[in-house]
Structure 1
Amino acid sequence: MLAEREFQQTISEPTELTGDFREEGEYEAVMKQIKIEQAMGARTQQRLSWKETYYWPMIQQRAKMIGPLPPLPGPKNDISPQESSAATRLVHALGLGTSPGNILKWRSYWKLLSDLRNAGATTILLYRTSGFRTYFFRHPKKLDLLLSWNEVFHLPLQRLRLRVIAEEGNDFSGKCDIEDKLIFERLRIVRTEAWGNDISVWGDYTEYKNFLVNHSIIPSSGKSNQHVLRYGMKGELARNKAIFIDMIRYDGVSGKRVIGNKPASTKLLAVSPLVSVAPGDFLLVFSGKLRYSDSKSLRAIKGPIPRLWLDYSESLGKLNQMRIAKPGESTNVCLAWEAVNEVEGEALFCQYWRVLVVATRYIMPLDQLIRPL
């Protein structure tokens, strides 16, 4: 409920930009407040981004107060001389450049943002980047393209927002992802309590003791899974793409066998990044229970030493849904085993292992992650 209230507050209508201006001083006061807010820093950036979508309606309100003006020079467009005058004042107030060409681009860009908001493209507006502005500042007539993007990215970005909120509360399980009914119904799981993107535990205490007796492994990390998920491998935050890994719905041919006369479902999920990924980027932890045994589950990953396995038949996580490469097919990630001991000063033995999933190739947004067997 708190997260929803914060979201509604973020996208609430800024009344100071939408009311009628009774006199010129009111418009000047609003522009002064916008300048102050622009300098407040990253903490209010998302709110500022949303308020920017109301600049064009504000300009239109101010234009109503301006008397007749001569036609604008150059080719005709859908912006009146009065709107151009009001937009020019705002461009000057924000220090955005005073050339006629620059003013034209800004007023067209603000109109595009307003049109997107009116079309319901809330998510793409909230998460737009400086790259978005760089491109669409020069190409403001791409409304249809942006609406098609919003159709694709709307639900994944909503899940990203919920993951950010959960991780701020120190919850790295990823359970918020499977609260999406459209995702949950395609997972076909029963025990939601077993879901966790941060699980690396021994499945059997006796097997753990046998492992310690037979192997003297020096741990290479003293950080918890939660720490790695928050800060990345070796603290390389810029290379930590874990929070951007999502499950994307698609319809296709399942690689699973037909059971009886019932065909395998065509309602599938792809584990994919929402942003571009480079080789060496950390993606997530592969969840599961550690086993030290001669017997191997059908759903298990072989470890770096004999008899060591990661069993993911019971512990469920996002990367458990990753596609496995077919014979001869290229992969784009690798599975890296890391020995861990979180106990301070206890660096002489391995407390547990975690399996890091790391990109081995450039991966574009929404491309499916493919791992080795």
Structure 2
Amino acid sequence: MTRLNYDAARDAFAEWGVDADAAIKQLADIPISMHCWQGDDVVGFEQSEGGSAGGIQITGNYPGRARTAAELRADLEFAYGKIPGKHRLNLHASYLDTDETPARDELDYHHFASWVDWAKDNGLGLDFNPTFFGHPKVDENLTLSHPDKDIRNFWIRHGQCCRAIAAKFGEELGSPCVNNIWVPDGYKDTPIDRLAARERLESAIDEMIAQPYDAAHMLDAVEAKLFGIGVEACTVGSHEFYMGYAIRKGTLLCLDMGHFHPTENVADKLSSVSQSVKEILLHVSRPMRWDSDHVILLNDDILAMAQELVFGNLLPRTHIGLDFFDATIARTSSWVIGTRNMQKALLRALLMPQAELKSIEEKLDFTQRFLMTEELKDLPYGVIWDEFCARNNVPTGKALIADLNSYQASVAPRG
């Protein structure tokens, strides 16, 4: 895209009172936490315990899955090289990098130290997640709410280990590590005593997060879910459960776009929960039915989410993470396109005449609001995006597609 085209596009936005250069500058400062588990189909690198199960399902067997931490990091480096800006990596506890075979309640920082060294070398922040699935002690889809105290204690210890690891991540990297707690707990058929299960879950989380850590190093988040396979009748950690918990206990609340009814507008929840919690964690995905976690498209749901973040001034209080895994297409391409679509949505929101639109709405001039929002759709957003990519030395269009295809061909022999 030529400079002349950008200048013309910048002038087009200026006619609406929008500073395109300022929008580009602001977008460059918004980190996206890209999830490691897209790269290997949520298998992880544990040597003593099997692959994922208990609430996680992957569809497809596209060639090129990362089989080791080294392969995963190589894939990630390629992907980050095609994504403008500086970002973060969201790491699960099952992605330890060690020849040792620790149990999950014995995990230690040194099992992940190579990830920190790599993050430093690549200028990335790290976020973390305890892995409450894919383990023999996920008994009937129950962990922290299990009636057996020994099983609960095992998972409490796992969570405690992960919080200590996350705090060390944050200390080493000089950036708070968001430690997100999600458990698959629930019942396939209608339970008799939902309250008892939720009381056990709350007590277990209380014990797990009792140790205080510096918020400059680690932030706790809790994540709800509507239902999953095997827990269709009742999810113990429901949205209401965790929203109340986050408000009362001061944790972050994680809103995963796939964890609600398909017809719910998750973007609409942002302004509501922001009035009751200090900070929000987002897991951005594309639910086609329930929690199907398809790769992000630049669709209405994502555009609405970005607009809520920008117009509600929620970006300083929101940690944007991704959560999709699709093994029917190239995994690196999924990362790159999904992350860039989140950025494109944010850029579109930043390129809207926010003050004027708010003023019109306050005057209840819905005709003018309608006219403006429709006409704004015709502005040359793509030219501004191309300029942003050019300033960050990353390709667009056919050049990007060629790079993605070339890399996929190089990793396809992995099988």
**TM bucket normalised to smaller:** under 0.3
TM-score, normalised to structure 1's length?
A: 0.26
Instruction: Answer 1 or 2: higher relative contact order, Cα 8 Å, separation at least 6.
Output: 2
